[in-house]
Structure 1
Amino acid sequence: MSATLDKIIEEVKALRPDERRELRDKLDSLFIEPKPAMTEDEFARHLAAKGIISLPALSAEDTEDDDWEPVEVTGQPLSEMIIEERR
């Protein structure tokens, strides 16, 4: 072992039991893998489970959006119409 590590071990041995527990807790926290961040849906379900919010029930219409296709519109784009009207 290196001299620095030996010195640290000797200093740890000199600590009071409560200080050793505190040191152990801090060292353990350094090696804990952080949890991945929750997605927005997971967070909403978490809040609903705690009773903080309520989630609306999904209807059949809400789940059938996979087949949605935008409607083709001809003519001048709406954004251009708005700009012309403001002039």
Structure 2
Amino acid sequence: MATNKNTAKTAVKNTDKKSKKSDAEKFTELANIRVPKALRVLKSISSLANDTKYEYTDAQSTAIISALKSAVDDLSECFKNGGKQDEETFRI
């Protein structure tokens, strides 16, 4: 019976080694999940622009657009800097 336990442990270890993914594979897998999710959320936010269903001010729509553009700019900077976010820069 000890052999069966050892065989089972070895099989689990071998399975773990085979299931390890490269960083590129993990990136692709997660990007293929996260980007479509983000796009669905953006489409959902864009439905708020329907002025027959919702009432909003120019200031509110500008705030939403500004926040989203800022988030995209931050995302772009992360890719340029290898995932490292720069410290906030003061601008007048």
Q: TM-score, normalised by structure 2?
A: 0.27
Q: TM-score, normalised by structure 1?
A: 0.28
Question: Comparing both structures, which one devotes a greater share of its residues to helix?
Answer: 2
Please tell me whether Structure 1 or Structure 2 has the larger radius of gyration of its CA atoms. Answer: 1
